[in-house]
Homo-oligomer: A and B are copies of this chain.
Amino acid sequence: MTPKRLNFITGNANKLREVEAILGDLVDLRSQSLDLVEVQGTIDDISVDKCRRAAELVKGPVLVEDTCLCFNALKGLPGPYVKWFLHDIGLEGEVHFAAAKDALADEPEGLNNLLAAYDDKTAQAVCTFAYSEGPGSEPKIFQGRTDVRVSHYLLVVGQILTYVKGKIVPARGPSRFGWDPIFEYEGRTYAEMTALEKNKISHRSKALEKLKAWLKGDA
């Protein structure tokens, strides 16, 4: 039996909005903010552990989410630890545009600079939802990853435009949501897309489509 109501554990209004946009007409979506400790480990281990803890705290069904940004040159890191890097060193560009001119001479800041030594700037965004029916019930995982393949477009003028899908770039676009300004997908950063555009291709929407299929009984 799939649930008719989901208790999404998040304190992040942006994530809630993205989930509502995709699942809102299918289930009764509630949200609750919990101060949950996360473990270190693989992406799946972290989500499963977090989901178990949440179910025990809430004593009922829960949906949790974890987002990773995996740099290929760093073999998938910072991955699940990206939030600490984002919190502590921010994004290049974003920080400097806001700072006084003097600060421009200072050290660069930002997550994107971790790749300064590498030519390979490709990256993959990974979104993992985990659902548990309650304490003691094994969490079910729904994961979405952005593609990393190159895409080609034949333009009207006869030229071929090539985009790497998923690439780390200096920050572009409004910094309303985490590392969106430095994650470029087919030529535009997440931050440069509208919510609708992003929801079509994002790691989170891919995970949500799997969750949606399961809720509808298709998976």
When the two chains form their complex, are residues B40 and A37 in contact, meaning their CB atoms are under 8 A apart?
yes
Closest B residue to A92 by CB, please name it. B117
Q: Which A residues between 76 and 91 are near B, CB-CB below 8 angstroms?
A: 76-81, 84-85, 88-89
What's the least CB distance linking A169 to chain B, in Å? Answer: 14
When the two chains form their complex, are residues A38 and B37 in contact, meaning their CB atoms are under 8 A apart?
no
Q: Which A residues between 151 and 180 are near B, CB-CB below 8 angstroms?
A: none
Interface assignment of A25: CB less than 8 Å from any CB of chain B: no
Interface assignment of A107: CB less than 8 Å from any CB of chain B: yes
- Residues of A within 8 A of B (CB-CB), count: 28
Interface assignment of A113: CB less than 8 Å from any CB of chain B: yes
Q: Which A residues between 24 and 51 are near B, CB-CB below 8 angstroms?
A: 37-41, 49
- The A interface is mostly helix, strand or loop, or mixed, namely loop
Q: Using Cβ atoms and an 8 Å threshold, which residues of chain B touch A40?
A: 37-40, 80-81, 84
Assuming the contacts A77-B85, A107-B120, asked whether A39 and B37 have C-beta atoms less than 8 A apart, the reply is yes
When the two chains form their complex, are residues A73 and B107 in contact, meaning their CB atoms are under 8 A apart?
yes
Interface assignment of A150: CB less than 8 Å from any CB of chain B: no
When the two chains form their complex, are residues A118 and B108 in contact, meaning their CB atoms are under 8 A apart?
yes
Interface assignment of A119: CB less than 8 Å from any CB of chain B: yes
A188 to B117, CA, bound (A): 24
Point out the residue from B76, B81, B84, B113 that lies within 8 Å of A117, measured CB to CB. Answer: B113
A108 to B118, CA, bound (A): 7
